[in-house]
């Protein structure tokens, strides 16, 4: 009996081991097939010659009059002739006369507002897809955010980057075109904490908001400045400042400082946010033929032509996860272009439409922030006096439209068309683009040549446009 029992156990064990080995072999084969499928899916699965037009920040208060802006009408051909066109919409698309929400108390000094007719105007310009993730997304609270989404839905423009919760804000949205299924994911690193979307947890409700990637920042200063900061902290009343950590940094009044040879900023990405976003990008690519990923990032500030230290790393992660093109915006000025793994990364395309001086109506708290009184200024006069000197610079009113063509799974050519945004025109027409003059084109393209050299990208100037070819 004992011998027979032993034999039965051995046979049973053998059966289990055999099944386990068979399963392991099956898993290995399936894993290899899966990796092969995933590798193939990372290529752009669009017909040869497929093109996408990408434009910069769209801060549009009202539809653009076509008759009085013939230059604007002519440049729309660059957008309409592409199979897909994308821009960043940095405003709230609401009817303020019937709006049921409220302006929010957030840190930005302006709350860009677009009249309802802007949705149709965007569609008539030729735009198919827009990003909504940015530092102005929550200017008018959840109500303004959801109304903006609804108005874009009504005209058939695909949008991404905001949602009723974090899963919705971070999800891929799709444009089903004759050229393939085009996916869009939108991210922002510049936002107020109250603007970030949140998922529900049990009975705790979620929160509408943006698809935010949180950053932590260190300010690098020289040894002399660091010593002065330590002295300042030591002079403050006990208990009025936070204790320092042991990693050679100084925490003073909410700002973290580190000693370095030169001044600068160092950012670190929140790893949970990053993992969540990369998973979403990978998922989006598996379900689309071509994936656009948009990043709204002001860091280190709109004064800097160079992106913050984290941004190239993030952009390359996004390409590795499946992005076919990465489009940056936010600083309102041009930044360089990188080609990574045969995929374009635009660190900022500047402004496309920039009607910042035409914003109305302005809330009372904006007057306070801009150090003005409603009795002393009209809205336009206050913006001209307080905002005008800050943004009235050529580089804020010079940009490009990029038209990228693809073949064999990667880009084949990028055409860069220079724009001028009518800086010297009256306020009603200021910020509306037109093809740049010959002189301005050279200046704009030479700037892009210089900025893109830092990423090893060669921009050739040919007949008033820039050209980047896949080597």
Whether 19 shows a pLDDT value over 50: the answer reads: no
pLDDT of residue 68: 87
Query: Distance between CA atoms of 270 and 275, rounded to whole angstroms?
Result: 9
Cα separation values, 267 from 189, 326, 337, Å: 11, 20, 21
**CATH numeric code, 52-214+270-354+393-469:** 3.60.21.10
Mean pLDDT of 195-215: 95
pTM score of the predicted model: 0.88
3-state helix, strand, coil split of the chain in percent (to 5) is 35, 25, 40
23 pLDDT higher than 60: no
Torsion angle (degrees, nearest 10) of CA 426, 418, 463, 457:
160
**pLDDT(246) > 70:** no
Interval 384-435: pLDDT, tens: 777 766 676 789 999 999 999 999 988 999 999 999 998 888 777 889 999 9
Average pLDDT for the chain: 88
Pairwise CA distance, residues 119 & 129, whole Å: 12
Determine the pLDDT at residue 253. 85
pLDDT in tens, 289-316: 999 999 999 999 989 999 999 999 999 9
Strand arrangement of the beta sheet that strand 173-177 belongs to? 173-177, 180-188, 290-296, 325-329, 343-346, 337-340
pLDDT digit string, tens, across residues 93-130: 999 889 988 888 776 668 889 999 999 999 999 999 99
What tokens appear for 156 in the block?
A: 């058939």
Q: What are 345-358's pLDDT values in tens digits?
A: 999 999 999 988 78
- Would you state the pLDDT for residue 27? 43
Whether the bond between 300 and the residue before it is cis, its omega within 30 degrees of 0, is yes
Residue 38 to residue 43: CA distance in whole angstroms:
9
């Amino acid at each position: 009996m004992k011998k027979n029992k032993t034999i039965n156990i051995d046979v049973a064990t053998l059966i289990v081991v055999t099944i386990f080995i068979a399963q392991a072999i099956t898993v290995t084969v399936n894993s290899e097939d899966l990796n092969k499928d995933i590798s193939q899916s990372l290529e752009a699965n669009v017909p040869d010659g497929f093109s996408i037009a990408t434009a910069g920040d769209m801060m549009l208060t009202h539809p653009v009059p076509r008759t009085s802006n013939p230059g604007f009408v002519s440049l729309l051909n660059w957008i309409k002739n592409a199979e897909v066109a994308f821009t960043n919409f940095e405003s709230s698309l609401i009817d303020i006369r019937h709006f049921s929400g409220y302006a929010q108390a957030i840190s930005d000094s302006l709350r860009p507002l677009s009249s309802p007719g802007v949705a149709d105007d965007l569609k008539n310009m030729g735009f198919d897809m827009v990003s909504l993730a940015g530092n102005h997304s929550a200017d008018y609270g959840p109500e303004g955010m959801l109304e903006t989404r609804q108005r874009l839905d009504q005209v058939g423009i695909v949008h991404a980057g905001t949602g009723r919760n974090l899963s919705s804000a971070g999800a891929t949205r799709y444009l089903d075109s004759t050229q393939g299924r085009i996916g869009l994911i939108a991210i922002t690193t510049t936002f107020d904490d109250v603007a970030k979307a949140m998922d529900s947890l049990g009975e705790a409700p979620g929160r509408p908001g943006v698809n935010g990637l949180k950053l932590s920042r260190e300010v690098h200063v020289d040894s002399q400045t660091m010593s002065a900061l330590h002295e300042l902290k030591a002079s403050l009343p006990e208990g009025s400042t936070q204790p320092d950590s042991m990693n050679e940094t100084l925490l003073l009044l909410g700002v973290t400082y580190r000693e370095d040879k030169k001044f600068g900023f160092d950012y670190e990405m929140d790893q949970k946010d990053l993992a969540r976003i990369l998973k979403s990008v990978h998922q989006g690519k598996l379900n689309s033929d071509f994936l656009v990923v948009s990043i709204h990032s002001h860091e280190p500030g709109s004064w800097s032509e160079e992106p913050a230290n984290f941004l190239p790393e993030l952009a390359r992660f996004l390409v590795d996860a499946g992005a076919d093109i990465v489009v940056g915006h936010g600083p309102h000025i041009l930044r360089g272009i990188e080609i990574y793994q045969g995929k374009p990364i635009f660190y900022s395309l500047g402004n496309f439409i920039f009607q910042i001086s035409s914003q109305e109506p302005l809330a009372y708290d904006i007057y306070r922030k801009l150090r003005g009184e409603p009795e002393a200024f009209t809205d336009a006069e206050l913006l001209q006096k307080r905002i005008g000197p800050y943004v009235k610079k050529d580089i804020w009113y010079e940009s490009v439209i990029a038209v990228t063509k693809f073949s064999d799974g990667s880009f084949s050519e990028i055409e860069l068309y220079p724009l001028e945004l009518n800086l010297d025109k009256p306020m009603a027409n200021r910020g509306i683009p037109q093809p740049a003059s010959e002189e301005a084109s050279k200046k704009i393209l030479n700037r892009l040549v210089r900025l893109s050299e830092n990423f090893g990208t060669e921009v050739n100037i040919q007949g008033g446009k820039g050209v980047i070819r896949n080597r």
